[in-house]
Structure 1
Amino acid sequence: MRLFKSDFLEFFTHIHPIVVVIIWLPVALFFLGYGILEALARALWVQIPLGFGLGLFLWSFTEYTLHRFVFHFRPRTPFQERLIFLFHGIHHVQPQCKTRLVMPPIVSIPLSLIFYGLFWLIFNRLLAAPHWLGPTFAGFIAGYLGYDLIHYATHHLPMRRGIWKTLKRHHMQHHYKTPDQRFGVSSPLWDYVWGTQGKRKGQD
């Protein structure tokens, strides 16, 4: 399904999952390395694992929030309806389209700059703890990268065992049973926190 009449614009709506690895893995490694250099200078290593873990945690909340309140926003005008369809609606219309399962860089790069600005403001200005910025933002980007790859896998890999089976089932139920629930992709944590996890096993 085409989203734009322009071939130029249409090109940017199709993204292979390897693209997000090529772009975001180096970014995550850069900020992690930056954090390690900060730790060497301060002889204080605790912020590396704690900051990275905090970044993963913050990403999981961001993922849930964006998916629930932005991607599934109920439009009130034709413009809003078109915008939401471009962002996420097309994915629910064609959930198995292999080139529309990860976020296009034309969207993810500006968003990452906004989030980096927020992280910088919080850690460098409000908390006066710049040494936490590197590992925390690295964890945040790693969380995003994991989300995109897990999302692709839930649609195109078997994922028949353990946590992978649980994640796939959770997301497939979001698509085919409860589109207004089960918003977590890389983790169902916040669905349980906010009560959007759907019915329990045996009630589906």
Structure 2
Amino acid sequence: MSDTAARLTLPNLITLARLLLIPVFVAVFYMPYGWAPMAAAAIFLLAGLTDLLDGYLARRLNQTSRFGAFLDPVADKLMVAAALVLLVQAHATIWLAVPALVIISREITVSALREWMAEIGQRARVAVSSIGKIKTVLQISAITGLLAIRPLQDAEGDLLMTPFDWLTYSLLYAATFLTLWSMFSYLRAAWPELWPSRQGR
């Protein structure tokens, strides 16, 4: 079996499909039809569910690989970043721009931290935690809800908040709080390597 065939396991094919969904998701988001918001939300939710599925299958089928370990978080972060950028444009408010900036910045920071920790053989210190998993569930729920319904505006162009909007924003801010919490947890775990004491040098 060739190296390429060995990498094209079912979990990795699912992950690749998630990557291919990103341009489809963006195209559907901008379609001028009443069903477009719900369709975009459904695509994003499907991508989120496949993120859970490919990891489960990789462990269940004993098909974990370095390629899959690299590709899975890349696909996840690209989809989330694309969704947040689109939502910031649609909502055009600081109340969504700030959590979007925090979430994207956190993903870049933690990805760089994990890469560096892997280089020095300490990758296990910044493995995905239970907080990170809860954050992911809240994040997927919030973004799916925000995508499902286009924001309403009054005559002056200000955002009109419905009860559903308050719910989705609350979930997004809860996810943002856990995003910061998990980032600081990872940084604290890596701190001895980032800033070694003189005694340890």
Q: TM-score, normalised by structure 1?
A: 0.31
Q: TM-score, normalised by structure 2?
A: 0.31
